[in-house]
Structure 1
Amino acid sequence: MTAARKTRQRGERPAQARSIATRDKLVRAALDVILEKGYNSASTTDFSEAAGVSRGALLHHFPTRSAIIIAAMELLLEEATAEIREVAAKVALTEVSLGDFIEFLWEMFSGRVFYLSLEFINEARTDADLRAGMMPVVKDFHAALDSIWIEFERQAEGQPQARLVALNMTVCLVRGMGVQTVLKDDPAYFRSMIETWKVILPQLLADGPEGVARLDGSGAAGVAGQGA
């Protein structure tokens, strides 16, 4: 290899690293701006200013607004998946309690991850191009969740299908509750459901759907009454 080629390659590597760093800054800035201003009020100019890069740099990486939006949602869900995987592994190894895992999911799906996802999903409902771009990202997210639940089951005892359904039910529960928090300011109401689910979920994981039927009335209902 000639000296000139070696010099050129050394110069290319820092340039590539800067390009990756710039792209990452833009995507993270887009998430921050959308969370602060909302999807429709957040412009690509806001994204570039928040990232501290030029408009030209943004267009180099993301020629269209939908391109950076899809990249932002992909990053959001990738990082959420990594967090869920880490905590689920600790639950399977009994390093974290199942109750704490429910609390973790509730915090995730009623906070930043949830509100950003809600912004994206709401816009995708009426924007066919955006929806088409997001669907593979969301599909990958749910496939990753299923793989986490399967690994969860592999490390713990129980019925595989029951675990898959029950843990996905948990995500659906906290996500639905997250939607309610937008217009319902009633922490005790949400707390009662979380505490009730802490009673129900272990039964589902251990015994499958039949486990719920064996819960005595004082179990779930009693916990719900305490939080109301």
Structure 2
Amino acid sequence: MATPHEPKQDRSRATRLRLLESTIDTLAETGWAAATVAVVAERAGVSRGAAQHHFPTREDLITAALEYMFDIRMEHSKAEAAAFRSASAHTAAQDPARTEAVVAQLVESYTTALFKAALQVWTHAAADPALRERIVPLEARFGRVSHRLAVEALGVDDADPVAHHLVQATLDMARGLGLADVLTDDSARRKQIVHQWAATLHMALHAPR
């Protein structure tokens, strides 16, 4: 049964969500310096006072945005992995086409606005121990889940140390290619690298031990 407080709570949740999404968009498009409470509030279409009701300080806003980014990235990674498994259910793990599809998917996940926003925070955290302390656990947890999903998509045994390190190298490469795409459109070169690395990865993963 609805209560008199539900509409107000819904509005409050909607305002909070707009602020978090505006923070991510601001970080991705105009960088760390622009992501102040005042700028984010204006972009979200709410008053500064309303923004500070939810996030009294900029640190509160950025921390909440980081947690929200983590949740979204986790949801996207899981959804992409599920979609891939569904689309390639008929394709054996030993098929090179499956390996290339997985690598391409991993790499493209590092060219999104979420990655660009996270990159702004990582850069600032390098010189801010308090912020670094907040984000390192989130990134470590995201890294573990990303690794597990990549292992499942590739259909390999993570207990095999060679396979484990090859999967991690693929994720590290994907992050590096994402960095290369920040300043210029690197899609053509990225496609060639994905194709070559996928072939190399496939042979290494399925070579006799």
**Structure 2 length-normalised TM:** 0.81
Q: What corresponds to 1:116 in structure 2?
A: 117
From 50, 53, 57, the counterpart of 1:64: 57
Measure, in 1, the Cα distance between the counterparts of 2:17 and 2:157.
40
Q: Secondary structure at the match of 1:126?
A: coil
Measure, in 1, the Cα distance between the counterparts of 2:30 and 2:83.
36
Change (3 A) 1:146 1:111: closer
Give a deviation string over 1:77-112, Cα, whole Å, max 9, x none: 322222222222344452483322322222221232
Change (3 A) 1:78 1:206: farther
Alignment of 1:25-174 (within 5 A): 25-93=18-86, 94-95=88-89, 97-149=98-150, 151-152=152-153, 156=155, 158-162=156-160, 163-174=163-174
Of residues 196-205 and 28-37 in structure 1, the stretch that sits farther from structure 2 once superposed is 196-205
Q: What's the offset of the Cα at 1:203? A: 3.0
Measure, in 1, the Cα distance between the counterparts of 2:188 and 2:18.
38
Q: Secondary structure at the match of 2:111?
A: coil
Q: Secondary structure at the match of 2:71?
A: helix
Q: What corresponds to 2:94 in structure 1?
A: none
Percent identity reads: 28
- Higher RCO structure (Cα 8 Å, ≥6 apart): 2
Q: What's the offset of the Cα at 1:180? A: 2.8
Figure out how many residues of one structure are paired with residues of the other and give that number. 199
Q: What corresponds to 1:226 in structure 2?
A: none
- Contact 1:110–1:174, Cα closer than 8 Å, also in 2: no
Measure, in 2, the Cα distance between the counterparts of 1:204 and 1:82.
30
Measure, in 2, the Cα distance between the counterparts of 1:202 and 1:92.
17
Q: What's the offset of the Cα at 1:151? A: 4.7
Give a deviation string over 1:4-44, Cα, whole Å, max 9, x none: xx9xx712222222211111110001111122211113321
Q: What's the offset of the Cα at 1:149? A: 4.1
Report the aligned-residue RMSD: 2.7
Q: Give 1 or 2: higher helix fraction.
A: 1
Measure, in 1, the Cα distance between the counterparts of 2:79 and 2:45.
32
Of residues 41-50 and 72-81 in structure 1, the stretch that sits farther from structure 2 once superposed is 72-81
Measure, in 2, the Cα distance between the counterparts of 1:87 and 1:98.
15
**Structure 1 length-normalised TM:** 0.75
- Contact 1:150–1:160, Cα closer than 8 Å, also in 2: yes
Measure, in 1, the Cα distance between the counterparts of 2:150 and 2:177.
21
- Contact 2:180–2:186, Cα closer than 8 Å, also in 1: no
Measure, in 2, the Cα distance between the counterparts of 1:25 and 1:58.
10
Unaligned runs of 5+ in 2: 92-97
Measure, in 1, the Cα distance between the counterparts of 2:132 and 2:83.
34
Q: Which amino acid aligns with 2:12?
A: S
- Contact 2:102–2:153, Cα closer than 8 Å, also in 1: no
Give a deviation string over 1:122-161, Cα, whole Å, max 9, x none: 00000112111212221221232244246547xx4x3223
Q: What's the offset of the Cα at 1:176? A: 1.0
- Contact 2:41–2:51, Cα closer than 8 Å, also in 1: yes
Measure, in 2, the Cα distance between the counterparts of 1:85 and 1:67.
27
Q: What's the offset of the Cα at 1:188? A: 4.5
Q: What corresponds to 1:197 in structure 2?
A: 197
Measure, in 1, the Cα distance between the counterparts of 2:31 and 2:167.
30
Unaligned runs of 5+ in 1: 1-5, 211-228
